[in-house]
């Protein structure tokens, strides 16, 4: 979604310190005492584009599944209305354009379906991938955004309500909500919990899906955004803190931070590395989560920073990135 970052930065810079030093992991409380030696940041390398797909509007949300890449956009190139555009992962051809609700934000794959959060009409659209038909339009909470795919429920983060809501995929119904932090944005279901990033709260809320209670509030860097689980750890980008932080699920504490460039946003584990895409450029940063080193910096384009989320997906051995500025999606080869 569009977000005003100027005042946010002024409000938070005085109170939240980022844990970054050079390009090595910075160990904080609860972490092992050793850390890798500093290393120079690799020089940026331009990446070739394998395909450019025109989807129209201002695409943000993206997910891969069922042999396709699914992209949420405010106005599709075909209809001019809010939609999810389905793209064949192999040929990069548009397969379908599916109407959804107002201002679609994020896309998730779960329970044999594609799920889309519609921020401005407070609904979630559920799509059947075999037929591209809308199975249900589910009223949820105020300002839905990110999803967490649980074992028995879909969880949707509602920015306006300050909650994470639990959707029963059998009944296509919102069952209940859990209050989390200020301006929640994204979530991941992992290690028996739902982890929700609170952008204005500079924290992660850990929610027990069984009791529906917040069991821990983890302070993070400035403006936490995308959340991912990888290698026994929860990872979160700090959009205005310039880092990716690691949270130990055993202690619910930040144990390390890795510098990740300017305005890191989307986060994705791929082939043993963490890939981070920035709001500006976009620029991709490849991180080694075990050594804490930046192992590559790759230029995709040269756009200024956007006031919207920049996310990414992986399919057909490539990274896919929506380009908000020109209504397209890029398919980028993953460098060795």
Has residue 20 got a pLDDT over 50?
no
Q: How confident is the model over 126-185, as pLDDT tens digits?
A: 999 999 999 999 999 999 999 999 999 999 999 999 999 999 999 999 999 999 999 999
Q: How confident is the model over 191-238, as pLDDT tens digits?
A: 999 999 999 999 999 999 999 999 999 999 999 999 999 999 999 999
Residue 308 structural domain: 5-333
In this structure, is the dihedral angle defined by the CA atoms of residues 6, 266, 80 and 114, taken in order, positive or negative?
negative
Q: What is the CATH number of the domain that holds 269?
A: 2.130.10.10
Q: How confident is the model over 72-123, as pLDDT tens digits?
A: 999 999 999 999 999 999 999 999 999 999 999 999 999 999 999 999 999 9
Q: How many CB atoms lie within 10 A of CB 230?
A: 18
Domain total of the chain = 1
pLDDT for 228 equals 98
């Amino acid at each position: 979604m569009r977000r005003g970052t100027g005042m946010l930065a002024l409000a938070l810079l005085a109170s939240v310190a980022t844990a970054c030093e050079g390009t090595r992991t910075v160990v904080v409380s609860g972490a092992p005492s050793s850390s890798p030696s500093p290393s120079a940041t690799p020089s940026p390398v331009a990446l070739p584009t394998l395909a450019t797909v025109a989807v129209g509007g201002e695409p943000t949300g993206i997910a891969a599944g069922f042999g396709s890449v699914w992209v949420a956009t405010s106005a599709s190139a075909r209809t001019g209305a809010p939609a999810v555009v389905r793209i064949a992962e192999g040929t990069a051809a548009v397969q379908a354009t599916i109407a959804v609700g107002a201002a679609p934000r994020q896309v998730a794959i779960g329970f044999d379906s594609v799920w889309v959060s519609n921020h401005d009409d407070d609904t979630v659209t559920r799509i059947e991938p075999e037929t591209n038909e809308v199975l249900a339009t589910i009223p949820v909470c105020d300002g839905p955004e990110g999803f967490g795919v649980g074992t028995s429920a879909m969880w949707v983060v509602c920015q306006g309500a300050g909650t994470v809501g639990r959707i029963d995929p059998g009944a296509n119904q919102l069952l209940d909500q859990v209050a989390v932090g200020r301006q929640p944005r994204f979530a991941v279901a992992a290690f028996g919990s739902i982890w929700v990033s609170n952008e204005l709260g500079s924290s992660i809320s850990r929610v027990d899906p069984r009791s529906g209670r917040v069991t821990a509030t983890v302070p993070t860097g400035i403006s936490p955004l995308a959340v991912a689980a990888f290698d026994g750890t929860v990872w979160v980008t700090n959009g205005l803190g310039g880092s990716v932080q690691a949270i130990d699920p055993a202690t619910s504490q930040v144990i390390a931070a890795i510098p990740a460039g300017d305005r890191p946003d989307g986060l994705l584990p791929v082939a043993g590395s963490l890939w981070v895409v920035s709001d500006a450029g976009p620029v991709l940063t490849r991180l080694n989560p075990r050594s804490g080193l930046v192992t590559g910096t790759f230029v995709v384009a040269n756009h200024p920073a956007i006031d919207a989320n920049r996310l990414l997906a992986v399919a057909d051995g490539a990274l896919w990135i929506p380009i908000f500025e020109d209504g397209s999606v890029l398919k980028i080869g993953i460098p060795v």
